[in-house]
């Protein structure tokens, strides 16, 4: 058995405005690919983390593999905007450090059954999002606090067709936990800016699948493709707000709540070429 012990690594993550409308995709399923900026992940077989990026690569391992990773994500996200409503200073919605730090763990195991078939299992995350504004932030109705945490448990199998081609297939159980809080912010109704106008917390799970293929051109060049299906999550939990009952609010009462979210499909095509003993070229085209 080969055991790969990985170090904790730190990377910077940038959250785009689109993250508020969907999930934030994570590339950090391992630390072995961090030095390549995760280029070539669907074609490079560093360790058992191939379960996450292309299960067909498991056919390259002759022995059992264990890989454990822990990655610290330390974002530096600032916001600059203009908003002159209600007579406020146009820079009132500027903010910084709106994305808190996070720790992303992952673990994998693969084993060959024979010369053709290999099995593997992985626990990792493909999507996560966390942004946090001050409770009295002027644009609290579209900011507030948003947190989505997912855990993907992936069972995989690979089949070596011949010396050039291998196929991989995986089944995925995805657990997700979400929290969404929105505050009144600056408003024409005289409510305190920190008044919660929506507070939803819930969790649920969904199922998906992934398929991969590997083509070994020669001993120095390899190509890989992996497709991971979308996963529908129907969060069920608790909903409340602090709006007065006189205006149709719940005044802090907790009621059942739900939120529907689709984690998008992911496709990746990669190439890996060992030019000589010191130089390698790796690349990927990633679609979400």
> Do 151 and 50 touch, CB atoms closer than 8 A?
no
Q: Judge whether 20 lies within some domain.
A: no
Q: Judge whether 24 lies within some domain.
A: no
CB burial class (10 A; 0-12, 13-18, 19+) of residue 91? Answer: exposed
- Please give the chain's pLDDT, 288 residues, in tens: 444 333 333 323 333 333 333 348 888 899 888 888 899 999 999 999 999 999 999 999 999 999 999 988 888 877 777 666 655 666 667 777 788 888 899 999 999 999 999 999 999 999 998 888 888 888 888 888 999 999 999 999 999 999 999 999 999 999 999 999 999 888 888 889 889 989 999 999 999 999 999 999 999 999 999 999 999 999 888 898 888 887 778 887 889 988 888 999 999 999 999 999 889 999 999 998
Q: Judge whether 111 lies within some domain.
A: yes
Q: Judge whether 143 lies within some domain.
A: yes
Q: Judge whether 23 lies within some domain.
A: no
Q: What is the CATH number of the domain that holds 181?
A: 2.40.160.60
Tokens of 241: 């707000």
Distance CA 104, CA 123 (A): 11
Spell out where 32-116 has E strands.
65-73, 78-79, 95-96, 102-112
Q: Judge whether 105 lies within some domain.
A: yes
Q: Judge whether 215 lies within some domain.
A: yes
Q: Judge whether 214 lies within some domain.
A: yes
**Number of compact structural domains in the chain:** 1
Range of the domain at 130: 2-12+32-287
The whole-model pTM stands at 0.83
Strands 65-73, 2-5: parallel, antiparallel or unpaired by DSSP? parallel
């Amino acid at each position: 058995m080969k055991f790969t012990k990985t170090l904790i690594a730190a990377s910077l993550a940038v959250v785009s405005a689109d993250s508020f409308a969907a999930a934030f995709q994570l590339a950090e399923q391992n630390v072995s690919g961090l030095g390549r900026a995760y280029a070539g992940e669907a074609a490079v077989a560093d360790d058992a983390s191939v379960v996450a990026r292309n299960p067909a690569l498991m056919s390259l391992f002759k022995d059992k593999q264990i890989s454990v990773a822990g990655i610290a994500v330390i974002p530096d996200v600032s916001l600059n905007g203009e908003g002159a409503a209600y007579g406020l200073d146009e820079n009132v919605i500027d903010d910084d450090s709106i994305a808190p730090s996070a720790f992303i763990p992952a673990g994998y195991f693969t084993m060959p059954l024979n010369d053709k078939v290999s099995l593997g299992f992985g626990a990792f995350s493909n999507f996560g999002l966390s942004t946090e504004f001050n409770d009295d932030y002027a644009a609290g109705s579209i900011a507030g606090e948003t947190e989505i945490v997912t855990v993907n448990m992936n069972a995989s199998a690979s089949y070596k067709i011949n010396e050039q081609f291998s196929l991989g297939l995986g089944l995925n159980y995805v657990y997700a936990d979400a929290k969404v809080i929105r505050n009144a912010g600056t408003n024409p109704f005289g409510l305190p800016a920190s008044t919660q106008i929506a507070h939803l917390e819930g969790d649920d799970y969904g199922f998906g699948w992934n398929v991969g293929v590997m083509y070994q051109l020669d001993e120095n060049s390899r190509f890989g493709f992996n497709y991971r299906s979308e996963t529908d999550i129907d969060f069920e939990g608790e909903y409340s707000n602090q709006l007065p009952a006189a205006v149709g609010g719940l005044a802090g009462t907790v009621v059942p709540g739900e939120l529907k979210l689709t984690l998008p499909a992911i496709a990746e095509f990669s190439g890996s070429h060992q030019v000589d003993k010191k130089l390698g070229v790796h690349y990927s085209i990633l679609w979400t």
